[in-house]
Amino acid sequence: MPVATPEVYAEMLDKAKSQSFAYPAINVSSSQTLNAALAGFAEAESDGIIQISTGGAEYLSGPTVKDMVSGSLAFAAYAQEVAKKYPVNVALHTDHCPKDKLDGFVRPLIAASAERVAAGGLPYFQSHMWDGSAVPLEENLQIAEELLASAAAANIILEVEIGIVGGEEDGVEGGMGEHLYTTPEDALATAAALGLGEKGRYLTALTFGNVHGVYKPGNVTLRPEILKAAQEAVSAKYGKDSPFDLVFHGGSGSLPEEISAAVDYGVVKMNVDTDTQYAFTRPVAGHMLANYDGVLKIDGEVGNKKQYDPRAWGKAAEAGMATRVAEACAALRSAGTKL
């Protein structure tokens, strides 16, 4: 199917919310990882979200070019074409964008989509994320309000982060400690600044102990009940049940029951990056170790072209990542729910 239109994306999120499941949002950085994500969603019969970070966008433009906008637009164009061959809907999203990269990433991409929409077309991306976790909440929400207005005008959904995700991703350091837990007061401030849909639709990444990176199960202290408290505080004031469309960041090492509870409390999108990176790379390592005398020209020999051809190890890498994407769909209950 083609990449989801704004209307289809909204329908996807509404369905996830009403039926208590979440979509895996898979980070990609190449055509191979994009293809793997699409294959995994198709295998699971799940719609989904495919996203790129600032670093991924730079890489997609070419490691000697490092232009986030060029890489993003190239990714969107490629995804639009190859997604047509898969029987699922996918939305395109840009991941964490801190304040110092807004003018080189999210703002020009929104402007490009606005120009395209004004000419009768569709936005390049269905949603963008503003990561204001490194600035005070008041400034975070002021910038979010400005971005929400411009995104809504271009039929784009904005994702905001209210709180701080621990660990590190693409150079953004969250650290550790009590600041990783969003309060009901933070949630109320968000609703007051951004509304509950009347100013434009947005996704909310509230933090409940989330940490980016690689952790064994049980090493991260998640408190999903924080999501419940936030939803209830805003619901009590505005009379709207489960008002936020929530996002789960930093899920590596989370226990199944923690993921399930987060989905029950309104999570409709969960970012998956670290696990799929490993699932892609592990088969490559296995191929190289098993065929080292073919992929390397040892002792003056010529090697084996069929073994060092990137397609030889690329197929295994894509298959490994696709399987992990399908597993994520099952864990988040989106398997078998495609529109």
- Catalytic site positions: 95
What Cα–Cα distance (Å) separates residue 258 from each residue in 158, 176, 262? 25, 19, 6
Q: Measuring CA to CA, which residue among 145, 41, 132 is closest to residue 92?
A: 41
What does 261-310 look like in DSSP terms, one character per residue? Answer: HHHHTTEEEEEE-HHHHHHHHHHHHHHHHHTHHHHS-GGG----HHHHSH
Q: Which residues pair with 166 in a beta bridge?
A: 211
| CA 327/CA 213 separation, integer angstroms | 19
Q: Which residues pair with 127 in a beta bridge?
A: 93, 157
Supply φ then ψ for residue 156, to 5 degrees. -115, 145
Contact indicator for 264, 19 with CB cutoff of 8 Å: no
